[in-house]
Amino acid sequence: MFGSAYLDGRQADTARVRALAAARKAAPVVLSYDYRRLEKDFAAARGHLTGSFRDEYRRTTTAVVAPTAKKYQGVVRATVVKPPGGGLPAASVVSASPDRAVVLLFVNQVTRSTQITGDRVDLNRVRMTLALTSQGWKVSAVDAL
């Protein structure tokens, strides 16, 4: 009884560490694009995704994002916020089990396009759900908060 509870706790701890690292790595890739290299950017993003979310991402980027980005020369650069004095990017595990985790990230997006003057900075809070797959931790959902 106690042995299995200990093992479950250790697996959840490992999940927290690995899922958090995967979320920090995935967020800038999934939430960024440049109209000059959309296919490359979207393909890189899909490499971090899994399941129906990967399919939804492909449909949305093909039908909505790509045409708009090309038309208005859109460039979006996302970064997970770091503290002013340096340190790890601002992200935290909300919940974790051995095969699923939910991570909260503070993400800034800088947007440039022909529709705006200068850079527009959006300060976003993102909830990212990750699933453990045979290829490691992959994003199965992204929700703006």
Euclidean distance between CA atoms 82 and 101, whole angstroms: 21
The predicted structure's pLDDT at residue 96: 95
Euclidean distance between CA atoms 26 and 138, whole angstroms: 8
The predicted structure's pLDDT at residue 7: 45
Euclidean distance between CA atoms 80 and 103, whole angstroms: 12
Q: Look at the chain and report how many structural domains it folds into.
A: 1
User: Which residue segment(s) compose the domain that 23 sits in?
Assistant: 2-144
How would you write the pLDDT of the chain (145 residues) with one tens digit per residue? 555 554 455 777 899 999 999 999 999 999 999 999 999 999 999 999 999 999 999 999 999 999 999 999 999 999 999 888 888 878 999 999 999 999 999 999 999 999 999 999 999 999 999 999 999 999 999 999 9
Give the predicted TM-score (pTM) of the model: 0.89
Euclidean distance between CA atoms 122 and 130, whole angstroms: 23
Q: What is the CATH number of the domain that holds 95?
A: 3.10.450.230
Euclidean distance between CA atoms 79 and 26, whole angstroms: 10
The predicted structure's pLDDT at residue 88: 81
H/E stretch holding 107 reads strand 100-112
